[in-house]
Amino acid sequence: MRYLLLLSAFVVCKCMHAQVSDSARKWSIEDCFRYAADHNIQVNSLRLDEQFTEQDLEAAKGVKIPGLSASVNNIFENSNTNTARDGNALKQLTSNGNYTLNSSIVLWNNNYINNNIRQRDLLTQSAGLSVQQSLNNITLSITQAYLDILFSKENLKYITDLVNSSEARVKQGQQFYDAGSIAKKELLQLQAQLASDKYLLVQTQNAIRQNVLALKQILQLPTDIIFDIVTPPSVEVAEEMPSLYDVQQAALLNFPEIKIGKLGVNIAELDIVKARASFKPALTATGSLGTGYNDVITNSISPKTGYFTQVGHNFYQRLGVTLSIPIFSNRINKTNLAKANIQYKQAYLNLKNNQLVLSQTVERAYLNAVNAKQAYEAANQQLLAATESYRIANEQSKLGAINAYDLLQQRNQYVQAVQQFTQAKYSAVLQQKVYEFYIGKPVSL
């Protein structure tokens, strides 16, 4: 028993350790995409909608198969009869049973069944494309949130270096002040700058936590999961981008919004065809097999015939066809056809609108990517100039050529240039990833 308890405790500890290790692992952007595809509530709800339409498709196919139903009934009747030999009423209890099998199949209805099957198939395809559309939106949201975290983390490195540098300068300034080399005012300026840098460090740390929380919410992760992301070795801005025309044509050809619009037009066309079928006659074949028996339970005056004998003698087979000809339907059929034509026009307008909106979205993504790249290049030049100015100011400070205030001014300009450069870089990467996503290029870092 003691060994059994020890073994159980060991297994439990290993399982807990495995769960903690799994929850504490760092997620790559591909991990985020896979998790969202498998666990996102909206995506899974759309998958259920797709399964629902698949069942409608199977039901539409089933109409081509003959239907079959069975019925069994038995009636007991207690009544008076005048069949007695003496002419007096005779009270009898009788039992009547009937057993039937009925089947029917539509032979012709202006191809309504086949068109309905085609329409249900298109609806199933449209439901599947809705899943892909939702996944595309989630992919872009994850990409932005992921890059926001990377931006905050890279910014944190610069701010941490600035705090360390400020602490060193305050320590050096204290030594100079103790030696009488600088005034109290310059020491206070250095201390104020250190306090400002520490405050900026706290803000950046808070930004990281907020961005991580935002990504967890997009992924719909439980709050008890310890979550962090993988930091790629480098995040670079691409030098070249595909042309706007190529991206627009690829998006109009492959994106689910356009495919859903085209399917909507085809579905509306089949609604018109189905509505016209209601004006045509329909031919249905029916068949049935049946038998029955009759038994006088009490006061029978005739010899009884056995149950199986009656069932055999009463067995019958029926086969027939029914031609249904619509003559007047209170304008229902005509109204349905008019509505179907209106829905077709609406579906066509929806397709045109989807094409226009997607083209404009791609163009906006292109302009955002171009503007972000230009801003990145300008920020890079600004950073190079600010870095060199700050380096020269540091050398001058060591020689005593400038005071602490001038040095801090150069330093603040450098810090501002670093932050603008970092923000411009990640903004350019994000806009390029979004733009390239419309041509069908998977997002990767």
Show the domain range for 417: 25-64+109-280+329-437
Average pLDDT estimate for 142-151: 95
Residue 195 confidence (pLDDT) above 60: yes
- DSSP state letter for 179: T
Residue 12 counted as domain residue? no
Q: Is 319 in the same domain as 433?
A: no
Structure tokens at 192: 């104020």
Q: Is 270 in the same domain as 298?
A: no
- DSSP state letter for 1: -
Residue 5 counted as domain residue? no
Question: By the 8 A CB rule, do 177 and 187 touch?
Answer: yes
Residue 183 counted as domain residue? yes
How far apart CA 163 and CA 156 sit, in angstroms, is: 10
Q: How many CB atoms lie within 10 A of CB 166?
A: 21
359-376 in b/e burial notation, b at 16+ Cβ within 10 A?
bebbeebbebbbebbebb
Which has the minimum average pLDDT: 14-23, 99-108, 171-180, 401-410? 14-23
Look at residues 142, 163, 141, 160 and name the one whose alpha carbon lies nearest to residue 152.
160
What is the pTM assigned to this prediction?
Answer: 0.82
Residue 301 counted as domain residue? yes
CATH number, position 299: 2.20.200
| The predicted structure's pLDDT at residue 83 | 58
Residue 20 counted as domain residue? no
Question: What is the number of domains present in the chain?
Answer: 2
| The predicted structure's pLDDT at residue 22 | 47
Q: Is 211 in the same domain as 317?
A: no
CATH number, position 369: 1.20.1600.10
Q: Is 224 in the same domain as 159?
A: yes
Question: By the 8 A CB rule, do 237 and 375 touch?
Answer: no
Residue 94 counted as domain residue? yes
Q: Is 385 in the same domain as 422?
A: yes
Residue 87's pLDDT band, with cuts at 50, 70 and 90, is: low
Q: Is 260 in the same domain as 348?
A: yes
Q: Is 29 in the same domain as 78?
A: no
**267, 295, 325 - which closes a domain:** 325
Residue 130's pLDDT band, with cuts at 50, 70 and 90, is: very high
What is the tens place of the pLDDT at every residue in 214-249? Answer: 999 999 998 888 899 999 988 899 889 999 999 999
Structure tokens at 76: 């007991």
Residue 187 counted as domain residue? yes
Residue 378 counted as domain residue? yes
